[in-house]
Structures are given as C-alpha cells and as structure tokens.
Homo-oligomer: A and B are copies of this chain.
Amino acid sequence: MRILLTVEYFGKNYAGWQRQKNATSVQQVLEEKLSLILQSPIVLSASGRTDSGVHALGQKAHFDYEGNFPVGKMAFAVNTTLPEDIRVLSAIKVSDDFHAQYSAKRKTYVYKMYVSRTLHPLKNYHFARIPYDKVDFEKMERACEDLIGTHDFSGFSSTGSGIKTTVRTIYSATLRKDGEDITLEITGNGFLYNMVRIIAGTLAYIGAGLLPEDSVKTVLDTKNRKLAGKTFPPQGLYLKEVFYEDENMVSEER
C-alpha cells in the first residue's frame, strides 16, 4: 500500500530535503526513523527537493509499505523518535498510482522578508532582511502582478538544473505587509531552481529602488538572469502546500 506523509521542518540544520553523501538531509533522517518504527526499509519520494536551509510547512512524500503498522498511528509513532525540527503532520493511505511529485498539480511557496537597517535576532532564522529604512511597497505589489500567467521563467532561475522546459504557470502571487514584515505567497504549477528566492530578491530590489519597477517584465522578456535581483537567502523560504487532484486520494484512514 502507498502512504502519503505531510511533513513540516525547520530547515536550518539540514542540507535540504534530498539525501546527500556528506551532509544530513531531512529525507535521510525521516527514512531512518520510519524504517525503525515500521521495521522495514522505507524509501521516500517527495513532491520535490527543498534546498539547504529552506523550510517546509507542508512538504509531501509517499512510500510503499506492506506491513501491519496502522496508518492512523504512524505520524504519532515516528514523531516520538524524530528530532524537534522535523514533524510528520499526517499520514494517509493513497492509491497505488498516486505519486507525490508527478501527481502534484500546484505548489504554494511563502517567502518572508523584513525591512530594517538593523538585523533582528528574533527574525534571523525565519526571515530574509531587506537592509533599508523603507521600501516602496506599491511598486513591489505592481511588479508582483507581472509574474502571474504562463511565462518562460529561465531569467528567474539558477543554471545547472538540466530540466526540459523553463515554462511555468503562476496562478497567484501576492504580497502582504505587516509593519516592517513583507510576505510573498506564490502558487504555480511548478518552480525552477531558486526561482522563488530570485523573485523575492527582485521584488525587494524593486522596492528599494535598485531595479526599475518593470524589471519582472524585462526579465521574463529577455530571459536574462543578470537583470533580476540577487538570490535571496534560504531561511525566508517555506514550501507551504502541495495540491493534488482529489481523485488520487483515498483519505479515510488517518
């Protein structure tokens, strides 16, 4: 049977989701603990990688399992053995043709920033800092709207991922302001390598006046990475939610 996990993690102490040779990954820790609890070697397939230091509020990963451990007790059982920066929020049975990555229709990422000349120690692990006294938030909001739609996002991508197409569809992209905090929430059918972090950096640069306010359009048109802002740091980025077609899910057993 196939089980789907929803996983939250604080990314600071991990070299990202995916197993690495010389560094600890979330996947490795979770597979080890699950294998121990379920008395069977578990291999996880996630909705996608998250990079070193990136957080997840709702990463999804599936695995196949033929033992007798009740699905409804898996999350609780494995949580008793996991370090406090990883938690399984739920485990449900899904159909055998469900795939955490290939069945995914949409993903939502959140990027948290704050605007301050001074670093704030209490935000240091969960936000990126825009090191200015203030930004033009309205300019950032207008630029954000230019992201929506189907575009070639290669100008908002770091090289080296070797994927087939760089065309993606962004369904929504919104900015919220709360005092000095600015939160980007972006939903699309997929994201290129470093795409959200480069978008966050570009919006911040536009807000700070370091880039023209039509820079998002320019980068989409020219596909020129050099015309975008810098890649913002991982600690501001959260994989918030992965969406699937409901028909793939068999969710009564929790």
Contacts and interface: CB of A to CB of B under 8 A. Distances in A.
Nearest to A238: B122
B55 A8 contact: no
Interface stretch (A78-86, A151-159, A203-211, A242-250): A78-86
Interface residues of A, number: 21
A119 B55 contact: no
A122 B8 contact: yes
B121 A85 contact: yes
B79 A122 contact: no
Interface of A: 8-10, 55, 57, 75, 79, 84-87, 89, 118-122, 124-126, 238
A151 to B, nearest CB: 31
Contacts of A119: 79, 84, 87
Number of copies: 2
Interface centre among A9, A86, A122 (most CB of B within 10 A): A122
A13 to B, nearest CB: 10
B121 A86 contact: yes
A154 to B, nearest CB: 31
Contacts of A8: 120-122
A80 to B, nearest CB: 10
19 contacts: A8-B120, A8-B122, A10-B121, A10-B122, A55-B122, A57-B122, A75-B118, A79-B118, A79-B119, A84-B119, A84-B121, A87-B118, A87-B120, A87-B121, A89-B118, A122-B126, A122-B238, A125-B125, A126-B126
A125 B75 CA distance: 22
A6 to B, nearest CB: 10
